[in-house]
Amino acid sequence: MSYDRYEALYLLRNSSAQTLDIGDYESEPSENNAFQECLNWARRHWRCLQIKKLPSYRYNPEIRRSNQTFCSVCLENFELNQTVRKLGCSHEFHSQCVDKWLNLKATCPLCRTAPL
């Protein structure tokens, strides 16, 4: 394993303690492409970790937690036992739909609030 990868892993480990602010690192000039790549890698995983921390639950139409009955990403109804993820803005989506979306955009598909 290269030093860069260790560095990225170190950042990643810090990220689970919520102390990572990669923005500071990005603004530092670096001519080391491998290092930048590792930072990108760490940032992607950091985002994954943050997404996984958002609350989710198994959908059950008999225990309605909100008025939303369908996912605005795929426009399919929520079905029994599907995993639904609730963002900070209270909008709800299939976790598999919104997780993919958040990996690309990091904002709620409906109201553009940043949940991360």
Q: Is 97 in the site for Zn ion (CB under 5 A)?
A: yes
Tell me how far, at minimum, the Cβ of 7 lies from Zn ion, in Å.
Answer: 35
Q: Is 114 in the site for Zn ion (CB under 5 A)?
A: no
Tell me how far, at minimum, the Cβ of 46 lies from Zn ion, in Å.
Answer: 22
DSSP assignment string, the chain: --HHHHHHHHHHHHHHTT---HHHHHHS----HHHHHHHHHHHHHHHHHHHHHS-EEE--TTS--SS--B-TTT-PBP-TT-EEEE-TTS-EEEHHHHHHHHHHS-S-TTT-----
Q: Is 110 in the site for Zn ion (CB under 5 A)?
A: yes
Site mask for Zn ion (CB under 5 A), range 56-95, x = bound? ---------------x-xx--------------x-x--x-
Amino acid present at 38 = C
Q: Is 102 in the site for Zn ion (CB under 5 A)?
A: no
Q: Which residues bind Zn ion (CB under 5 A)?
A: 71, 73-74, 89, 91, 94, 97, 108, 110-111, 113
